[in-house]
Amino acid sequence: MNIIGIGNVKFIFTDELDLVPENFPKPVLQLEFEVMLPWLLEEKPL
């Protein structure tokens, strides 16, 4: 598994496959990505 991070984004390359049929031609790499988004909730004064 190789992970490349750029800011709040991570790209993951792996040969651990999900949702790929058994008879799919090999070799296969799976690309996953993750984005970290900060969520700010506006609070109303009481």
Instruction: Name the least confident of 13-17, 27-31, 42-46.
Output: 42-46
Q: Are 10 and 3 in contact (CB under 8 A)?
A: yes
Q: In the prediction, which pLDDT does 3 show?
A: 94
Q: Please provide the average confidence, as pLDDT, over all residues in the chain.
A: 89
Would you say residue 27 has pLDDT above 90?
yes
Q: Are 1 and 13 in contact (CB under 8 A)?
A: yes
Name the E strands within the chain: 2-6, 9-14, 30-35
**Tokens 């598994």 sit at which residue?**
1
Beta bridge partners of 34: 10
Amino acid, single-letter form, for residue 20:
V
| Cis amide bond preceding 21, omega within 30 | no
The mean per-residue pLDDT over the stretch 25-41 comes to: 89
